[in-house]
Structure 1
Amino acid sequence: MSTDTQNAPAPADGGMAEKLPEELLPVYDWYRTQGRQLVMAAAVLLLVAVGVMAYLRYRANQAGLASAALMTTESVEGMENLERQYGGTRVGPLIRLRLAEAYYNAGNYAGARGQYETFLKRSGRHPMAGTARVGLAATREAEQAFAEAARDYASFADANPKHYLYPVAVMGQARCLAAQNDKAAARDVLDRLIVARAGTPWEGMARDLQGVIDRFEGFKGRSIFDQMNAAAKTQPTEPGATGGNLLDALPTTPAVTNVAPGAAAVPATAK
């Protein structure tokens, strides 16, 4: 035996190739050159898949917790905490709508506007996007930006004549037009609402608002709501009429998260 033969290194595979049938040698050669890398890649993909499934399960659990908390939270502070904790979950858009509503009811119109804008930027295709658009217009109306609010109300109403918030938008547009001393235009949009919603409670509310607008004396430093309330108190009460403070019965903002789309034809009741 030669010295070269004695010093030759042993095969790394322990001579496995010599033990395999000749027809399996191509498979063995492929495994040695590429198969190991593919097996490792498959193992990595499996780990990634397991990680994604765990993450999705975590997100689902977070969304469940957020939904339960949303049902029981009422305060502004509580809503803010929910937005910080769960704003990134699939319940996040609804949390932002509730927070916007809470801000609005507390008189923080800028905060409400910011939440509606964030909702539309992040969730413009959400089923509740219409609610956010009408809510955004309502915040501008409350901030006395009547021209912008009238434009937003009109844009929504023109694009969504069958939406359950269509009457809310039209009456908001009418109020903003009246605030700009354009009573004729305000009456015109309300006439169209009366025709579109004839025979529903919205028809009566639109007629009542027309009477309020007729008595509105113009924007003179006080809120349009205060002046319309004062005008409403001078309106004679007839059998079946709303009477008293009409704006208490007019939805100036949509009841955004507690109204089902199926309740389209019935206006919100006074608080």
Structure 2
Amino acid sequence: MATGRTHRPATRSRGIPEATVARLPLYLRALTALSERSVPTVSSEELAAAAGVNSAKLRKDFSYLGSYGTRGVGYDVEYLVYQISRELGLTQDWPVVIVGIGNLGAALANYGGFASRGFRVAALIDADPAMAGKPVAGMPVQHTDDLEKIIEENGVSIGVIATPAGAAQQVSERLIAAGVTSILNFAPTVLSVPEGVDVRKVDLSIELQILAFHEQRKAGEGSGGAGADVDADTEPGAGAAAGAAPVAAVEPPAGRAAAAAAAARKGGPEGDVPAVMPA
């Protein structure tokens, strides 16, 4: 039986920040490409450029792994591949179940990158009875009625949810009850999970919306920018000219003297202390 639940990466116990953990796969991908080209060593600048980060941040991240490199030589590529793989828990087999075998779920099932990174798709699960038994990516789809049994038999601790949003919460609850403690959620909804369960969310539509925002900004900059902002608290026509800044009213000297005299006669906050004390 697979040992997906018996070992945990030591990242949290060793105090590696979550931001660093999120960058480790980027370093590993770049290092793997170097290893495939038989590159023995790499400088922090070269590796940082390949991973899309700055070299100072890379060196700080690697210090958490106890790897500082050699001055004038750089980092040993193969050793770093091993170090990062060990920290990410990729030196063992991780069985994974994918729940929801629609277009997205089927695409994930056919993705060849999982196996090469230590993740074995143990089962494909769907609620549609018509899908049961149909082969997808060389595996028969199984019905959700067997979800708990599948997880137990395969020692699964990582589940992938690719269902419609309305079904995702219930699926997550069943996965967790069966022993899954990490979920990759592709459903466009926020899951409510108990403490101790890790959820990573991937929402492609949100990423596209963010790109649309940046495209709109670039288009606005190219056309010279939008018109001046209008303060909602400023009444129309308050400025002397369009776009002019509001000008504070200036009280004439006589008005100021009258106001001071009135203030001297005025009661304080409680009505029994003069607001302006005589000299």
TM-score by length of 1: 0.23
**Going by fraction, where is helix more abundant, 1 or 2?**
1
Which has the higher Rg, Structure 1 or Structure 2?
1
More strand by share: 2
